[in-house]
Structure 1
């Protein structure tokens, strides 16, 4: 597996995600249009692959993680909560109208991706939950 070790590689990864989010917006705003932009399984797979790459360098989880750590990691945690909120909204939309299943899957994978990115940005020094 490749490793993401440079800020340039992380910036490129985030740039791809930003472009994907525009595709997602187009997909949701014009459902069912032939030839329109659609989120694809390949975009979901790319997120899953990047999660695997980032996870390979992280210690296993032994506790719940609290949002925080470095400023960049805290921002990734906020973005993760927004991705989950968007996922819930799209799932609700899918109950009323046809929605591209890959769009829902993308948002789910994006949330996972941002969680692992936050852990990666904390360089293994996660803020752990301390019960009671």
Structure 2
């Protein structure tokens, strides 16, 4: 259970923050940037949800919860020590990736194949989901970069990879199952 009685602590005033294992790092460290970007993604999903309803809103809320799991995972280095810990840290699992894949397949089943790239836009929800897609891609790039220098849970990276695909397919579903997609016309303005 998380209890937040006091919001400011002043412990970060010198430009450092604590990771989930208690160690302190610079606020601009790659690990902090990676989980900070997943938090940014969570915020833009909150904006997208202003235009979502029904099952789309439910799925977006589930993803927001997953992103808190992802942040908890990324802020906790030293995966080798997980088994020794009295309180094992929260880690992303392949079942979360599999759920995204199942939802992608379900949404994609009703979409016509694309004959061109899709420009971000169409409905308000679709446009917001495209913003989510691009922030998810940035979060993925940062997690992959982090995994090149420190240990990162592979399920966390896979989740972010699938998540950007999820947002792309969801944006098409939000555009009247693709009927409202705005397609790229190569060289149209030459």
TM-score if structure 1 supplies the norm length?
Answer: 0.93
List gaps (5 residues or longer) in structure 2.
Answer: 1-51, 83-87
Shift of 1:7: 2.8
Shift of 1:121: 0.3
Shift of 1:102: 0.5
SS at match of 2:60: helix
Shift of 1:89: 0.4
SS at match of 2:148: helix
Once residues 59 and 7 of structure 1 are traced to their aligned partners in structure 2, the CA distance between those partners, rounded to angstroms, is 23
Question: Does 1:66 pair with 2:119?
Answer: yes
1:76-102, Cα deviation, whole Å (9 max, x unpaired): 000100000000001000000000001
Alignment partner, residue 3 of structure 1 = none
Alignment partner, residue 78 of structure 1 = 131
TM-score if structure 2 supplies the norm length?
Answer: 0.65
With a CA cutoff of 8 Å and minimum separation of 6, indicate the structure with the bigger relative contact order: 1
Structure 1 runs, 4 residues or longer, greater than 6 Å off: none
Shift of 1:117: 0.4
1:4-36, Cα deviation, whole Å (9 max, x unpaired): xx9321111111100100000000001225211
Alignment partner, residue 55 of structure 2 = 9
List gaps (5 residues or longer) in structure 1.
Answer: 1-5
